[in-house]
Amino acid sequence: MRTNIIRIGNSQGIRIPKILLEQSHLGTEVELEVEDEKIVIRSASRPRQGWGDKFRLMAESGDDRIDEDLSGQTEWDKDEWEW
Q: What are the start-end ranges of the H helices in the chain?
A: 18-24, 51-60, 75-79
pLDDT digits (tens, 9 = 90+) for 22-65: 999 998 899 999 999 999 999 988 778 888 998 899 889 988 77
DSSP3 helix / strand / coil % (the chain, rounded to 5)? 25, 20, 50
Q: What is the pTM of this model?
A: 0.50
Q: In a 10 Å sphere around its CB, with 0-12 CB exposed, 13-18 middle and 19+ buried, how is residue 16 labelled?
A: middle
